[in-house]
Structure 1
């Protein structure tokens, strides 16, 4: 089940933080913390891999609100979409661990915003994800320049480079729909 209570709580905290001046810029790394709960774990008593992706939603929402994008999403009736992702797991997260999610924009192109997220426990990285995300209007992804204009950063530029560019290129070679 989707963690609606935790999601709502994280939105309220992000709004309060923004009102108190705890904002993030597009170049910043946003951090938020939570405890791994019993509803997050699997039969191996560690955080379920599917739950990791779900909880990364909270980190992206926190970043959007604290950066000012959240307000523009509401004003313009825009939505957010994840159009692709890759993830690596390196360390287990156990029940009741204090987890820090770090979220940053890794790159941006004409259509997509590439977001990098990681989960940390006791200063050690546990997982890292790279996501291709977009802003939508009427069910269609809009140009990122329109988003940057709306949030007052029309000249902000962070083209894909390194592993992000390699992932984009590799993912473009992947057949769709899959040949089965």
Structure 2
């Protein structure tokens, strides 16, 4: 089940951070901390890989609220979409461990915003995800320039490079499952 209460708590905490003046620009990294709960673990008593992806939603939510994107989403009646992702797991996260999650934008093009997220325990990286995300209006992805303009960051450019650019190219070559 989706952790709606945890999600709402993340929004409330991020809004409180904004009220305290602890905001972010799109150029900064969001960090949140939480504990691995019993509802997050699998039969091996470690965080379930599906839950990792769900919890990454919380990091993107904190980033959106604290960067002002959340306000624009409400004001403009925009939505968010994840159009692709890749993840690597390196270290297990056990029940009750304190986790630090980092979220940052690592590139964008005309249509997509590329976000890197990672989870850390005791200063060691446990997982890292790269996501292709977009802002939507009426179910269609809108131009990144429009999003940046709404946030008064029109002059910012961060073209995908390195592994992000390589992932974009390689993902475009990936065949879509055939119709049966």
Compute the TM-score of the two structures, normalised by the length of structure 1.
0.98
CA distance in 2, matches of 1:76, 1:172: 30
Give the corresponding residue for 2:124: 124
TM superposition outliers: structure 1 runs of 4+ over 6 Å: none
Count of aligned residue pairs for this structure pair: 180
CA distance in 2, matches of 1:49, 1:33: 18
CA distance in 1, matches of 2:5, 2:33: 15
Do residues 28 (structure 1) and 21 (structure 2) align? no
Give the corresponding residue for 1:42: 42
Deviation at 1:179, TM superposition (A): 7.2
Compute the TM-score of the two structures, normalised by the length of structure 2.
0.98
Give the corresponding residue for 2:137: 137
CA distance in 2, matches of 1:133, 1:160: 13
Deviation at 1:18, TM superposition (A): 0.7
**Structure 1 residues not aligned, in runs of 5+:** none
CA distance in 2, matches of 1:155, 1:177: 39
CA distance in 2, matches of 1:64, 1:4: 17
CA distance in 1, matches of 2:178, 2:19: 46
Give SS of 2:103's match: strand
Do residues 94 (structure 1) and 108 (structure 2) align? no
CA, structure 1 residues 179+164, in 2 after alignment: closer, same or farther (shift >3 Å)?
Answer: farther
> Please, what is the CA RMSD of the aligned residues?
1.0
After superposition, what is the alpha-carbon deviation per residue over 1:4-35, rounded to whole angstroms, capped at 9, x for unaligned? 11000000000000110111111111100110
Give the corresponding residue for 1:82: 82
